[in-house]
A and B are shown apart, each in its own frame.
Chain A
Amino acid sequence: QVQLQESGPGLVQPSQTLSLTCTVSGDSISSGGYYWSWIRQHPEKGLEWIGYIYYSGSTYYSPSLKSRVTISVDTSKTQFSLKLSSVTAADTAVYYCAHTRGLGSHFDYWGRGALVTVSS
């Protein structure tokens, strides 16, 4: 059973960089052909996929956020991270990390979510 847990600052100042880490247990990020994603949910709104890092280390980002997003994996292969630069209040959301087995697949494991508020 894969378990995911987000961590990071809950408050970020406008124009700064939002940084979150997802700790993975029960599996290794480098094993299998899985995709490790970040998804966010604005307050009282729907879900928005941000980007993924593949087990091989390759990444792909949502075109709408591509210029500001970086997803990376640490050398231990037990954590992957999200960096979102130049944030504004519109980036205030609950950020989830999630796991899926393929492009046509569903997200079968999710973290509990981390609320990040952008405010001065």
Chain B
Amino acid sequence: QSVLTQPPSVSGAPGQRVTISCTGSSSNIGAGYDVHWYQQVPGTAPKVVFFVKDNRPSGVSDRFSASKSGTSDSLAITGLQAEDEADYYCQSYDNSLSTWVFGGGTKLTVL
């Protein structure tokens, strides 16, 4: 059972907008720790696509954005493209466990 909760799967048609939620608690997201998002294509290492409050690594499309509300965070992907199909993970820090924590992952399918 992951400390951060994500939906197992989401899907959308090309061009659409999808969101992936990440729900935590008062000891991680609710405590003010930043949430970071990773994209993982099967067989490869995770790659960060959004970090801290409003940052995308060089080379990551501005179609990716994130927003936070209380103990939850959400990754939004607009203008969905086939290349976006992957697993997505959220990550934060938990001060009661004193560890970095991940969500269970969400499989994005582009229809």
Interface residue ranges, A against B (CB under 8 Å) = 37, 45-49, 60, 62-63, 96, 100, 103-108, 110-113
Beyond A49-B99, A104-B34, A107-B48, 17 additional pairs, beta carbon < 8 A: A46-B2, A46-B89, A47-B46, A47-B89, A47-B102, A47-B105, A49-B101, A105-B51, A105-B52, A106-B52, A107-B46, A107-B100, A108-B48, A110-B46, A112-B44, A112-B45, A113-B45
Within 8 Å of chain A (Cβ to Cβ): is B30?
Answer: no
CB <8 Å contact, B98 and A60: yes
**Cα separation A2 to B25 with both chains bound (whole Å):** 33
Interface residue ranges, B against A (CB under 8 Å) = 2, 33-34, 36, 38, 44-48, 51-52, 57, 89, 91, 93, 97-105
Some 18 contacts from A to B, beta carbons below 8 A apart, are A37-B100, A46-B102, A47-B46, A47-B89, A47-B91, A62-B99, A96-B45, A96-B46, A100-B100, A103-B93, A104-B93, A105-B52, A106-B34, A107-B46, A108-B48, A108-B51, A110-B45, A110-B47
